[in-house]
Amino acid sequence: MPKAQTKEADEAAKEKEVAKEKEATEEKEVAEEKEVAEEKAAPKGKKEGGKLTKEQFFSHLDNLTVLELVDYNKEFEERYGVSAAAAPVAMAAPGAAPQGEAPAEEAKSEFTVVLKTIGEKKINVIKTVREVTSLGLKEAKDLVDSAPKPVKENVSKEEAEEIKAKFEAVGAEIELQ
C-alpha cells in the first residue's frame, strides 16, 4: 500500500474514533442532565413501599394552583363520597350554665333594636331615628311609618340600651332582639 493511502486510512480511523468519543460524551451529558432533572422534579424524602410520604404529598400540594386544588377536591368528594365542609363543633364554655337555662340576652353579644310602636310624638321619633342612624328625613319617616321595623342591627348591649332609652324618652316602644 502506498504511503498516501495509509495516511488517509489512519486519518479516517482517527476521525471515526474522535466521532465515537464525541458521541459517547454527548450521551453521558444527556444522561446526567436527565438525572439532575429527575432529582429536581422528585420531591424530597424517600418513598415508602411505593407510596408517597406525607412530606412528598404536601410538597406536591404546595406546588399546585388554586384551580388544580379545586379539581382535586371535587375528585376526592366524588371518589370517596365525602365533603370538605367543616363540621360544626359545639363546645360549652367552662362554668357556663347548661343550654336552655341561660337568659337569651346574656348569651348574645350583638342586638337588633326594633321599633315596635311610635307613640303620640311621631316627629320626635323621626328625629330620634335620624340621630341614632345615618338616615335622611324621608328614609327615617318611612321607617317610622312602617313600624314594627329594625332601627339598628348588630349593636352591643350597651349601645342597644342607650338607643332604647332615647326612644322611650320620646314615647316610642322598643324591643331588643
In the 3-class helix/strand/coil scheme, how is the chain assigned residue by residue? Answer: CCHHHHHHHHHHHHHHHHHHHHHHHHHHHHHHHHHHHHHHHCCCCCCECCECCHHHHHHHHHCCCHHHHHHHHHHHHHHHCCCCCCCCCCCCCCCCCCCCCCCHHHHCCCEEEEEEECCCCHHHHHHHHHHHCCCCHHHHHHHHHCCCEEEEEEECHHHHHHHHHHHHHCCCEEEEC
Tens digits of residue pLDDT in 62-110 = 888 888 888 888 888 888 887 756 555 555 555 555 554 545 545 677 8
CATH of 104-176, one of 3.30.1390.10, 2.40.440.10, 3.40.50.150, 3.30.70.890: 3.30.1390.10
**Phi, then psi, of 174 in degrees rounded to 5:** -120, 145
Tens of pLDDT, residue by residue over 149-172, are 898 888 888 888 898 998 889 888
CA distances from 28 to 5, 21, 39, 147 (A): 35, 10, 17, 87
pLDDT at position 44 over 80: no
Decide: 83 and 77 in contact? Cβ < 8 Å.
Answer: yes
Give the distance from CA 37 to its chain's centroid. Answer: 34
The domain spans of the chain are 3-80, 104-176
Q: pTM, whole model, 2 decimals?
A: 0.39
Q: Name the one residue in this structure whose C-alpha cell is 422534579.
A: 41
Q: What is the pLDDT of residue 108?
A: 74
Ramachandran region, residue 50 (left: φ > 0; alpha: ψ -120 to 50; beta: rest): left
